[in-house]
Amino acid sequence: MKNLQERFNSGEIIEFEKPTVVLASASPRRSRLLTEHGVEHVVIVSTVDDTDINFEHPHEGVSKKQEIEYSKQMALAKLAPFVNKIKNGAVICADTSVFCAGKILEKLLTVEKCRAQHQFLSGKKNINYTAYAVYYNGVVLCRVMATKVKIKPLSAELIEQICKEPEILDCAGYRHQGLIAPYF
């Protein structure tokens, strides 16, 4: 028998027997946050590869307004495959991006980018924008929250340690916040 993810990926409409929260993310951190706040949920990962969307947008010389719109667009893109495909369930998608000195920081993808990005952020103020997109019963809502952050200077040793963290190369802002939070 196919699991929920396989059923969803094959295009099946998923109907839950009782109201269910669906986290549309493979992020262990987001799942853990829901669990810690007493929200029972199932995970069905969005079929959208946000890497392409990420690289289609300008990342330099952008305004805060453009950054907010970028975050919304990313979260809504991840949510799109769930619209009219989930019955009796509320789907939550999120996207976190980092905005610093007129730049939207790209997904890391390589150790070299990870190192360069953390060297760039060292000692600077930035804003982490997290867009939450929710789908329930034909309605889509999207909100963006901003977290202002001042990062203390990061040593070369710490940057190397960050670059070796599991999952660091396929993440954006949420992982960034978790890893260097002690240095805010």
Tell me whether strands 139-150 and 103-104 are parallel, antiparallel or unpaired.
unpaired
Q: Yes or no: say if 94 and 75 are a contact pair by the CB < 8 Å rule.
A: yes
Q: Which of 49, 50, 52, 95 is catalytic?
A: 95
Q: Yes or no: say if 144 and 128 are a contact pair by the CB < 8 Å rule.
A: no
Give catalytic status of residue 95 as yes or no: yes
Q: Yes or no: say if 79 and 140 are a contact pair by the CB < 8 Å rule.
A: yes
Tell me whether strands 125-136 and 139-150 are parallel, antiparallel or unpaired.
antiparallel
C-alpha 117 chain-centroid distance: 17
Residues marked as catalytic: 95
